[in-house]
Amino acid sequence: MKRALTRTLAATGTALLSAALIAPAAFANITGGEGVNGPADDKLVTKWGLGVVFLFPLLLVILSVLQHRKEEREYAHLEAEHSRADLAEWNGGW
């Protein structure tokens, strides 16, 4: 079951990536090579450049916060395991 799901997800991801890589070429042929937004003038290039400049660091901050939260949970879990290991009721056996 798990193997089939993994295979299905891999095939779906491959298909979506292929479509995403082929789509710009298809749009360029239809519109005469201009692209989706029309001709690329200075204003359009500036807006896209500023978008990348401001949104990429924002993405980095968001992903760093998520990673920090994940690591905090991991450390809390490890600390709980160690504190349980120190208790006498968890040591021994019969």
The span from the CA of 72 to the CA of 24, in Å, is 41
Q: What is the DSSP letter of 40?
A: -
Q: Are residues 24 and 50 in the same domain?
A: no
Q: Are residues 47 and 92 in the same domain?
A: yes
Q: Are residues 56 and 74 in the same domain?
A: yes
Question: What mean pLDDT do residues 24-38 have?
Answer: 66
Q: Are residues 44 and 16 in the same domain?
A: no
Which structural domain, as residue segments, surrounds residue 61? 40-94
Give residue 94's pLDDT band: very low, low, confident or very high (50, 70, 90): low
Within 8 A by CB and 6+ apart from 84, the residues are 90
Q: Are residues 29 and 48 in the same domain?
A: no
Q: Are residues 67 and 30 in the same domain?
A: no
Total domain count for the chain? 2
Q: Using one digit for the tens of pLDDT, what is the confidence trace for 32-78?
A: 667 667 778 899 889 989 999 999 999 999 999 999 999 999 999 99
pTM value > 0.75 = no
